[in-house]
């Protein structure tokens, strides 16, 4: 199994380079950075989960912070967990992601999702009712830009004639797209344009593993091999991690408080090392 951290990067706590170096020095595998461009005041009643609401309000851009992390490390997997594709122009997103793959030497994974704060989407000109169809076209267009010298796309929401766009991703045929989410139609998206699934824990490890079994069954029916799964927000419990390891989950990331002072943040990373050590070679 691989283990890492999933976090917002903010103007508080460890800087991106500090955090990335600390992860790599401890033998952890990855850094995934979440995204909110802003939080509308009308949507400030955020859910009760493992991430402090302050992190949502103060979130920095994930691509900029991951570029800093890339410069500070040599082997750390870098990913968005997740980038809000319905709030990003697909031509720009393709260039940002490919550039990050270039500067990191092929270490970037693009986790994408449609988001859930409807007011935030509307401020970007996105109609929440059509966000899934919009994300589908944008990600298909991104893949076309990555893999074609003269890329073009004609859809309901994304429409452009042939374009030149470089750089292309280092990874072949392109960098991985991890589709986030736990909804009833997420597997349709994973199987159409994803290279992996990046769910949150839906409740218990057993529930997640049941879902993974269904995904792999559907992938096999389409002639695809096993779909890699990266869990965003793994449990801080050795017994539950053991169940995930036995069930074949390849990659787990743990939430952290972005505003934690340096000493507290480093102690938390040391705790993750101790918690995950027995599963590293599973």
pTM score, whole prediction: 0.95
State how far the Cα of 197 lies from the Cα of 236, in Å rounded to an integer. 21
The conformation of residue 126, written as its DSSP 8-state character, comes to -
State how far the Cα of 13 lies from the Cα of 172, in Å rounded to an integer. 35
Instruction: Yes or no: say if 271 and 250 are a contact pair by the CB < 8 Å rule.
Output: no
List the pLDDT tens digit at each of the 282 positions of the chain. 999 999 999 999 999 999 999 999 999 999 999 999 998 888 766 655 556 678 988 999 999 999 999 999 999 999 999 999 999 999 999 999 999 999 999 999 999 999 999 999 999 999 999 999 999 999 999 999 999 999 999 999 999 999 999 999 999 999 999 999 998 899 999 999 999 999 999 999 999 999 999 999 999 999 999 999 999 999 999 999 999 999 989 999 999 999 999 999 999 999 999 999 999 764
State how far the Cα of 222 lies from the Cα of 79, in Å rounded to an integer. 27
Instruction: Yes or no: say if 279 and 247 are a contact pair by the CB < 8 Å rule.
Output: no
Instruction: Yes or no: say if 112 and 178 are a contact pair by the CB < 8 Å rule.
Output: yes
């Amino acid at each position: 199994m691989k283990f890492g951290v999933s976090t917002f990067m903010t103007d508080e706590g460890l800087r991106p380079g500090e955090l990335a170096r600390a992860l790599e020095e401890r033998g952890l595998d990855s850094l995934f950075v979440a995204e909110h461009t802003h939080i509308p005041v009308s949507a400030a009643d955020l859910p009760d989960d493992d991430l402090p609401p302050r992190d949502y309000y103060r979130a920095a851009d994930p691509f900029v912070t991951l570029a800093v992390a890339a410069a500070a490390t040599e082997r750390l997997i870098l990913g968005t967990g997740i980038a809000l594709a319905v709030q990003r122009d697909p031509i720009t997103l393709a260039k940002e992601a490919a550039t990050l793959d270039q500067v990191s030497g092929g270490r970037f994974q693009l986790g994408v999702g449609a988001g859930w704060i409807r007011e935030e989407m509307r401020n970007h000109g996105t109609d929440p009712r059509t966000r899934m169809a919009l994300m589908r076209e944008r990600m298909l267009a991104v893949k076309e830009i990555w893999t074609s010298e003269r890329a073009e796309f004609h859809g309901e929401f994304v429409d452009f004639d042939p374009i030149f766009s470089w750089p292309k991703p280092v990874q072949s045929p392109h960098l991985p797209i991890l589709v986030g989410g736990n909804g009833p139609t997420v597997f349709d998206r994973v199987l159409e344009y994803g290279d992996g699934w990046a769910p949150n824990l839906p409740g218990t490890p057993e529930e997640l593993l049941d879902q993974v079994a269904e995904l792999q069954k559907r992938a096999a029916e389409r002639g695809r091999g096993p779909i890699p799964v990266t869990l965003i927000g793994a449990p801080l419990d050795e017994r539950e991690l053991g169940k995930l390891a036995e069930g074949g989950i390849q990659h787990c990331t743990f939430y952290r408080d972005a505003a934690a002072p340096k000493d507290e943040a480093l102690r938390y990373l040391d705790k993750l090392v101790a918690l995950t050590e027995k599963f590293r070679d599973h």
